Structure 1
Amino acid sequence: MLTVNVELKERRYPIYIGENLLKDPSVYPLKSGDKVMIVSNETIAPLYLDTVTKTLENIGCKVSNVLLPDGEKYKTLQSLDLIFTALLKENHGRDTTLIALGGGVIGDVAGYAAASYQRGIKFIQIPTTLLAQVDSSVGGKTAVNHPLGKNMIGAFYQPITVIVDTLTLNSLPKREVNAGLAEVIKYGAILDLAFFHWLEQHIDNLVALQQADLQYCISRCCQIKADVVARDETEKGDRALLNLGHTFGHAIETHLGYGNWLHGEAVAVGMMMAAALSEQLGNISKADVGRLEKLLARANLPTISPDTMQPEDYLPHMMRDKKVLAGKLRLVLLKTLGQAYVTTDMDKSLVLSAISACTQTD
């Protein structure tokens, strides 16, 4: 088992990474008599809910659960209300611990519920998708979507523990694994050129879910994110770098309807658009853009815009993105491969040109 610690000013919490951790009582910061509610969905619950429940009951916890529908389109205030209703019906109080068992949607919604219920209760992240394991479960961002924008309603609220059982990835559809690799590649592109080199050498093993490489990869991504979050928990500076490709990607997700493209698929195309804009500005070479494109393609990820979107479709969504400040568009771009920066109020004609460079032409 590998352990990465997230070090914050007032507190710290561990991320445990390994096999069969769902059955390991030592990784759960709970004791006999504790009240727990597990939030999961209709897809994950049949696979892992019994295992987690039995482990907690063996500790002596009093366990209940609530199941949400599966999918990004259910990352809504209505799903949040389902959790609140279940907590209230069963008389859960401030001493309850909420456990998010599932992918990024479950983690985000359950985390926001924990932040809000009785003004804050403890919660544990048990991410079961690669994207959630390397990104969304770490760092305390919680949110739900609104029809006019992704993740627009939420809070910064940290878990007390993250438990990453890498064997849960064996039950994922390949498309979900590939989507998670987009966030993995992002870390190398923005902050760690050596890790980007490592990914070029090991991406095929990651696609094949080779356990040793997978566990190293997840731990490295979590360490990079933990370091960034420790410096900037509420995204006033460095943490914004983690959004490479996301402003473009969120536009794709919002325009197509949540869930039609997976988050990682949209981010992959968004990273190519950010790279194209970086090249236009003279920051990175055409060869480096090609390296990024090749690595994404080897992870079976898209690198061009959906054929139902035109360049002009992007800007209205991008200008509603939560990273817009004082009406100015903020974008994460690349200085070099392995080093990113944030820029504000980029010339919209250049942005459109970069989007066009990643748009399929007949």
Structure 2
Amino acid sequence: MNRLSLTQEFSVPYKYEVFFTENLFEKENTLFKDFIVNFGNKDYQKKVLFVVDEFVAKSHKNLTSQIVAYFNHENFAELMPEILVLEGGENCKNDPRYYEEVIRAINEHGIDRHSFVACIGGGALLDMVGYAAGISHRGVKLIRIPTTVLSQNDSGVGVKNAVNYLGKKNFLGTFAPPVAVFNDMQFLESLGERDLRGGLAEAIKVALIKDIEFFKWIIAHIEELIAGNKRVMQEQIFRCAQLHLQHIASGDPFETGSARPLDFGHWAAHKLEYLSDFQIRHGEAVAIGICLDTLYSYLKGYISQKEAEGVVYLFQDLGFATFHSALAENDKINLFNGLNEFREHLGGQLTITLLEKIGKGFEVHEIDFDLMKKAVDLLEELSQ
């Protein structure tokens, strides 16, 4: 019997902008309105459904009324009368009721593929709402309005959406880029010290693996970053977001391979979040994970002891805890399980980013776990 085959090959261009602004929904700021009006068919009556992080709504008590007034001012699109206010944080990714609630609203308000879901919140809510939007009608248009340092400089500008399932971080998810991201610095003013600090872990991560000059800049501005200096924080967010966007566009944006350099330090971080019942937040867990993989890079002979310890001390100077007892429990078996789960999440082949030098990462496909145990012990020693 003759064998027949057909080959299909095509590419789909993706383009979205990350805007930097303040007071996005002040009537004088036309940035959001101009985007909606100029996106797609100008003759189409566009709908916008808003989903707002509960913490953000409480911290900015006039936000929902401000959004209504903004839309009423020029009547440039149809604002859905229901503004969903949902719990943020990791719990919204753990409980399926939350993404089901977003899907319900998308259905009831007739949000089709020419309309928008606009999410205002931290990284976890953006992840969850992006997942709900991505699986509704095979993908409705998502606008992200990140409200934390971590989401403005990292997760909010990327192409991934997810929820947690079966006890695994980001087990269900989509690669679905937003149509736009609006980084409003005003939202950062309501953040506590812990949330302001959390996003700096991702900035240090991308600097360590991609940009030595940015790493030096972070060290030079450490006191201003700790103090939450607005100008310095804005520059940090812009430079970090820029590096993330450059990476996404440079090779494998939908991660069809196994390489994930932007997940430097994340394999241990994801496991730590679960082991602590999410009492450790993502940025805090990433800080510990980076320290661990940095010390492992030293023990493997890639970087010097002084360089490795300098990274740990930098996180400590910024106020991060750099060790958690869950790393060492049961002869590090929990950590070993986390490594295997990360391997499975990647698709079978383990790919871990280590430091070839400060400012340059590289990938390995094997981990000497006995040496990793020594890295855990060394990290505990340095953290005391």
TM-fit CA distance, 1:324: 4.8
1:71 matched to 2:69? The reply is: no
Root-mean-square deviation over aligned CA pairs: 2.2
| Of 198, 212, 228, the match for 1:179 | 198
1:49 matched to 2:64? The reply is: yes
Tell me, in whole angstroms, the C-alpha distance in 2 between the residues paired with 1:326 and 1:154. Answer: 14
SS of 2:260's partner is helix
TM-fit CA distance, 1:9: 6.5
Tell me the residue number matched to 1:240. Answer: 260
AA of the residue aligned to 1:13: Y
TM-fit CA distance, 1:182: 0.6
| Of 125, 130, 133, the match for 1:111 | 130
Distance change in 2, residues 1:308/1:188 (3 Å): closer
Tell me the residue number matched to 1:203. Answer: 222
Larger strand fraction of residues: 1
Distance change in 2, residues 1:122/1:237 (3 Å): same
Q: Name structure 2 gaps, 5 residues minimum.
A: 1-10
Distance change in 2, residues 1:146/1:126 (3 Å): same
Tell me the residue number matched to 2:359. Answer: 338
TM-score (norm 2): 0.86
The residue correspondences of 1:122-141 to structure 2 (distance < 5 A) are 122-141=141-160
Tell me, in whole angstroms, the C-alpha distance in 2 between the residues paired with 1:287 and 1:306. Answer: 24
TM-fit CA distance, 1:345: 2.4
Tell me, in whole angstroms, the C-alpha distance in 2 between the residues paired with 1:217 and 1:53. Answer: 32
Tell me, in whole angstroms, the C-alpha distance in 1 between the residues paired with 2:344 and 2:225. Answer: 31
TM-score (norm 1): 0.91
Q: 1:302-328, CA deviations, whole angstroms, 9 ceiling, x for partnerless residues?
A: 111246852222111331126655644
- State the percentage of identical aligned residues: 29
AA of the residue aligned to 2:336: L
Distance change in 2, residues 1:103/1:330 (3 Å): same
Q: 1:266-303, CA deviations, whole angstroms, 9 ceiling, x for partnerless residues?
A: 00000011001100110011111122112212221111
Distance change in 2, residues 1:239/1:15 (3 Å): farther
Tell me, in whole angstroms, the C-alpha distance in 1 between the residues paired with 2:52 and 2:322. Answer: 32
TM-fit CA distance, 1:346: 1.6
Q: 1:52-103, CA deviations, whole angstroms, 9 ceiling, x for partnerless residues?
A: 3432343422223222223212213321101011222223322220011000
The residue correspondences of 1:202-281 to structure 2 (distance < 5 A) are 202-231=221-250, 232-236=252-256, 240-258=260-278, 260-281=279-300
AA of the residue aligned to 1:25: T
| Of 166, 169, 176, the match for 1:157 | 176
Tell me, in whole angstroms, the C-alpha distance in 1 between the residues paired with 2:347 and 2:111. Answer: 41
AA of the residue aligned to 2:20: I
Tell me the residue number matched to 2:208. Answer: 189
The residue correspondences of 1:294-333 to structure 2 (distance < 5 A) are 294-306=313-325, 310=329, 311-321=332-342, 324-325=345-346, 327-333=348-354
Aligned length: 354
AA of the residue aligned to 2:24: L
Tell me the residue number matched to 2:14. Answer: 11
Whether the 8 Å contact between 1:149 and 1:321 is mirrored in structure 2 is no
User: After alignment, is 234-243 or 155-164 more displaced?
Assistant: 234-243
The list of structure 1 runs, each at least 4 consecutive aligned residues, that deviate by more than 4 angstroms after superposition, is 236-239, 322-328
SS of 2:88's partner is coil
AA of the residue aligned to 2:31: S
1:38 matched to 2:50? The reply is: yes
TM-fit CA distance, 1:237: 5.8
AA of the residue aligned to 2:17: P
Tell me, in whole angstroms, the C-alpha distance in 2 between the residues paired with 1:159 and 1:326. Answer: 25
Tell me the residue number matched to 1:3. Answer: none
Whether the 8 Å contact between 2:272 and 2:326 is mirrored in structure 1 is no
Q: Name structure 1 gaps, 5 residues minimum.
A: 1-7
Tell me, in whole angstroms, the C-alpha distance in 2 between the residues paired with 1:332 and 1:53. Answer: 46
TM-fit CA distance, 1:135: 0.5
Tell me the residue number matched to 2:121. Answer: 102
With CA pairs under 8 Å and 6+ residues apart, which has the higher RCO, 1 or 2?
Answer: 1
Distance change in 2, residues 1:334/1:323 (3 Å): farther
Larger Rg: 2
Whether the 8 Å contact between 2:157 and 2:245 is mirrored in structure 1 is yes
TM-fit CA distance, 1:234: 1.1
